Amino acid sequence: MKFFMDTANIEEIKRADSWGVVDGVTTNPTLIAREGRDFEATVKEICALMGNRPVSAEVVSTEADAMIAEARKLAKWADNVVVKIPMIKEGMKAVKVLSAEGIRTNVTLVFTAAQGLLAAKAGATYCSPFLGRLEDMATDAMGLVKQLAQIYSNYGYKTQIIVASARRPEHVVQTACWGAHVATVPFKVLDQMFGHPLTDRGLEAFLADWNKLQEELGKQ
């Protein structure tokens, strides 16, 4: 499973990347706005940090022709830009054109298997179902990922599922069990995935016993 950082915060990206498990970054207009910086400069800086690893940057147009023009512009910012397109009819028209031109796309704001199937039919590189927002509506979000994985496998779609709106480690683990290709997570969730109190307690005990032995040997 690939891990993308779902943030536009440079320090978070650098810190998470130092842990050696980051395979890319996803942004969206809200995440960009949160940083309060120029969109192009932020995306280019993240792309440089990621090297050849994919970085999603979202269009803000809502008509197909304007989306296509915007996407072509974003794709020129760096070779590792993936263009994020919202799951609307105009967006699927744009994805169809862009995928034919070899521009990688990430269809976002996906909430049903029908939407995910349409994204794959349009030729999307990635499809981003939003788990946390579905759970906010008391909807079976995990079931959606399971359905999408099954549908994509049934028909051999190359579209990769990016688990998005991931709010806790369980979202990553459970969807990894069902074969989601990528999880895009906030810094906090990735940080949480490393920790467990029994690990801390066990390491503390190992080191205490080791140090006790060294002291005893020093006394002999």
Instruction: List residues near ligand G3P by CB under 6 A.
Output: 6, 26, 28, 31, 130, 132-133, 164-165, 184
Considering the complex, state which of residue 106 and residue 147 has its C-beta at the smaller distance from ligand G3P.
106
Q: Given the structure tokens 């794959």, which residue do they identify?
A: 120
Considering the complex, state which of residue 26 and residue 115 has its C-beta at the smaller distance from ligand G3P.
26
The nearest distance, CB 220 to ligand G3P, in angstroms, is 58
- Which pair of tokens denotes residue 34? 């949160």
**212 catalytically annotated:** no
Considering the complex, state which of residue 95 and residue 97 has its C-beta at the smaller distance from ligand G3P.
95
The nearest distance, CB 28 to ligand G3P, in angstroms, is 5
The nearest distance, CB 109 to ligand G3P, in angstroms, is 8
Considering the complex, state which of residue 97 and residue 107 has its C-beta at the smaller distance from ligand G3P.
107
Catalytic residue among 2, 84, 96, 219: 84
The nearest distance, CB 136 to ligand G3P, in angstroms, is 8
Q: Given the structure tokens 């072509």, which residue do they identify?
A: 72
The nearest distance, CB 107 to ligand G3P, in angstroms, is 12
Closest residue to ligand G3P, based on beta-carbon distance? 165
Residues 6 or more apart whose CB falls under 8 angstroms from that of 96 comprise 122, 123
Is 106 in contact with 84 (CB distance < 8 Å)?
A: yes
- Side chain identity, residue 158: K
Considering the complex, state which of residue 86 and residue 97 has its C-beta at the smaller distance from ligand G3P.
86
Active site residues: 84
